[in-house]
Structures are given as C-alpha cells and as structure tokens.
Amino acid sequence: MLKYFLVLALLLKATGYADADKGCMREKSVLISGAGIAGLTLAYWLKQYGFAPTIVEKHPSLRTGGYKIDIRGVAIDVVKRMGVYPSILKGRTDIRGAMIVNSAGKQATNMSADLCGGRVEGDLEIMRGDLCEILLKQIGDIECIFGDCITQIRQSEDSVYVEFEKNEPRNFDFVVGADGLHSTVRKLVFGDESHFLKELGLYISVYTVPNFLNLDCFEIEYFEPQKFVNIYSSHGDLNAKAGFAFSLKPLQCDKRSVSDQQKLVQKAFSNVGWEVPRLLAAMKEAPDFYFDAAAQIHMPQWSKGRIVLVGDAGYAPSPISGQGTSVAIVGAYVLAGELAKGAEDHLTAFTEYEMTLRKFVKANQELAKMSGALMGDKDESWISWLSYHVMSLAPLKWIQYFKTLGVKKINKAANDLILKDYSDKYSVKTLGV
C-alpha cells in the first residue's frame, strides 16, 4: 500500500499537480473566446498561474486600429503588475490638447486633453488596437486560433465540449466568453442577447478619415442638442478618427447592415454645420466603419458550471461610461486570480469572482447615466437642452464645471475596488514597475 502511495506521489510531482507553490491547475485547459482586451488580459494571467489558455478569435487576425480608450484607477495597477505599463506609456495617443468649436468652426473654448477625456494625472489613453498588440506580445507563446468561432457548447461535470465553425471539436476544462457586447458564448449558454442588453438610447459611430484639418495630436469637439461630433489625430497616425454620437428614437434600421447604419448616421447629421459634411463624405471610403448602440449588459449571474463571462460579454458598462476597457482589464485579473486560488473548486472561484467585482461593475455602469442624460432624447432630456444653451452663453465655465464633475465621478468609480494580490499563485514572477 505504502509503495502505491509513493508511486502516486512521484507521478503527481512529475506532472506538477503536487507542487503547492504553482497551484494544482497546471494542466487545466481554458478556451477563451475573443482576443480583445478582456480575453488577452485573462490569457496573460492564466498563463502566469500555470493554466493552458487557448484563444479563439473570429477575426482572421488580431483586431488592430479602432478608437482611443482609457485605462484608469485600479486598472493601472493591473497593467503595472503585468509589466506592460512602460509599453502603454510609450504607445499612448499623446493627444496634447482639445477645443470645442461652434457651427462656424470658431473656437468656443479650449482645454487640456486630460480634462477633455475625463482623466486625472497618471491615467492613460491609447488606441484600442495598440493596447491589444501590447497585451498579445506580453502573453508570449500560447495557442491562438484566428478566423474561427464557437458554434456549440456542451458541458459535463468535468469538462466542456466545444464545436467550432472550422476546426475540429475539442474538450476544455473551462470556457470563457470574452467575446464582447454581442457575445456568442453568452448567447449559447445563457440565452438571447435581448434578456441582458440594455440600450441607452444613444448611437455611436467611429471611423478613419483623412487628416484634412492637419491636426497634430489634437482633438476638436462639436455639440448640438442630442448630437456630438469629434475628430482627433493621435501620435503616429497619419489619418484622423471621426466620432459621432446621437440620440434618435425609435431607431428602426437593420443594425447588421452597414449600408443602413451609414444612411442613419448621414440622416442624423444631415443639417449639422462645421466640418460635418466633409466627415460624412469620408464615411463610404473608411476602412473601419463602426456603428452600434451604446449599451450595457446586465446579468444575474456571470457563470454557469464551467463556463464564465468576462469584460463586455458579462457586464459591459458601455463606451459612454469611458470605463469599458478598465473594467475588462480588472475583471480578467480578478477572474484569473480567483480561478488560480480556487484550484479544484471552480464554482467557488466563480462565485468569488462575482462577489469581488459586482460593486465595482455597478459603480462603473452608473457612469453612463450622466453622459446619457446629457445626450438624451429631446422630449425627455431637459438636461441636454439646458446644457446646450448654457454652453452657448458661458462655454468655458460650463464645460469646465461639467468636465471636472465628470472626472471626479469617473475617478471615484475607477478606484472603487481594492485589488487582491494573487501573487502567491504565480509560477512566473511578474515584471511590474
């Protein structure tokens, strides 16, 4: 009998299962659907803890390009612990200033880029695609399947069976939906999007335009009631990005058809002054036209058995909260840490993940309400009307008042979590600064 235990102990040691320092999860495989901010951050941490993550991304390659995003509050600590802070600092947009113009293009006010973006000192702004590239590089060698996606998921007590559109079916220990606002994993496992997605009454479009205003790391914004337009150029980009946000009710278009979406943006901004006609004219040629409703995801539970959601897929706060990226980064950090801690008891790990994060997610989802009210529908939002007219009378004071208020609120929500330290679960030392 003793001999049997000795052989078993040796076997466990050889496979790494008995190494308490490295946790018991060395061999566990995790399929992550989505190579976005949440998916890449999660893959990094799972690898540190000795899991074997595989990423499946529906896009044929890493999705680069896109819009500028912010990293704030406790998310800054996470990227520092990942060792990517210096690269993000180097790759940031470096936008140095901003101004708001009237319909004739005359400057109404100017401000710092940080005030414009709702940031405090130390917060970072980077293009979404640049951040994804930095994160992927930091992960190192893992299995990434590009150009494919999950079509079926079935779970048993000890594994998850997954079918793909192109690749052969496989079994994994866990599956994570990190596939964004319109998550397929959520749909397959938890039910139709309509149960969880809450539109905020605002529509957003972003795309690349030629830099015809010769902006040099600068942003220009233009407001009308229920309408917002901006254009900015960031460090190292020869082109510029145009962004549109508008409220229109009810929005009746096939949101999957790009041509319908483009018509809708054209219609919403057809009588708007400043440089808007030129920006609209560039829409058809844009290589990266993006359109969606600003929306949040609210779910009673983020996991079911061995399947769990992270980032926008589980709890999107919406782009107008300004915190989608930071929430995704922090969510991925907590999920990986709890899974490493929970070792053989994933149900407890997923419960801990939710308990740790719920309050933080709620605080950040609340942020979208303020922006929503300022941009809301004409019939409902007196705040929108008031803000526009006060802004025309006293632009600088009003904008500074509103922006400063916003910065304080965002900063509070961005820091509304004490990050746990899971470093005793690492198998590799982090390179934090």
Ligand X SMILES: Cc1cc2nc3c(=O)[nH]c(=O)nc-3n(C[C@H](O)[C@H](O)[C@H](O)COP(=O)(O)OP(=O)(O)OC[C@H]3O[C@@H](n4cnc5c(N)ncnc54)[C@H](O)[C@@H]3O)c2cc1C
Binding site for ligand X (CB under 6 A): 33-39, 56-59, 63, 67, 69-70, 128, 149, 178-180, 184, 204, 206, 290, 311-313, 316, 319, 322-326, 328
Distance CA 322, CA 344 (A): 36
Q: How far is the CB of 368 from ligand X (least distance, A)?
A: 11
Cβ contacts of 257 within 8 Å, gap of 6 or more: none
Pairing of strands 218-224, 227-232: antiparallel
Q: Classify the phi-psi angles of 278: left when phi > 0, otherwise alpha if psi is within -120 to 50, otherwise beta.
A: alpha
Give the H/E segment covering residue 347.
helix 346-375
Nearer to ligand X, 100 or 150 (CB): 150
Q: Which is nearer to ligand X, 37 or 276 (CB)?
A: 37
- Reduced to 3 states (helix: H, G, I; strand: E, B; else coil), residue 223 is strand
The minimum distance between CB 148 and ligand X, in angstroms, equals 8
Residue 201 or 324 with smaller CB distance to ligand X: 324
Q: Position 416: which residue type? A: D
Shortest distance, CB of residue 331 to ligand X, whole angstroms?
8
Rounded least distance, CB 35 to ligand X, Å: 5
| Nearer CB in complex with ligand X: 23/311 | 311
| CB 219, CB 98: distance < 8 Å | yes
From residue 235, give the alpha-carbon distance in Å to each of 111, 148, 213: 18, 32, 15
My answer on whether omega of the bond before 250 falls inside 30° of 0, hence cis, is yes
Query: Smallest distance from the beta carbon of 131 to ligand X, in angstroms?
Result: 9
Q: Which residue has the tokens 């150009």?
A: 147
CB of 20 to ligand X, least distance (A): 32
The two tokens of residue 229 are 């337009």
Of the pair 320, 391, the CB lying nearest ligand X is at 320
Cis omega (within 30 of 0) on the bond before 319?
no
**CB distance 234 to 127 below 8 Å:** yes
Instruction: Pick between residue 62 and residue 373 the one whose CB is nearest to ligand X.
Output: 62
Nearest residue to 178 (alpha-carbon basis) of 264, 338, 57, 25? 57
Question: Shortest approach of ligand X to residue 325 CB, angstroms?
Answer: 3
Q: Which is nearer to ligand X, 322 or 376 (CB)?
A: 322
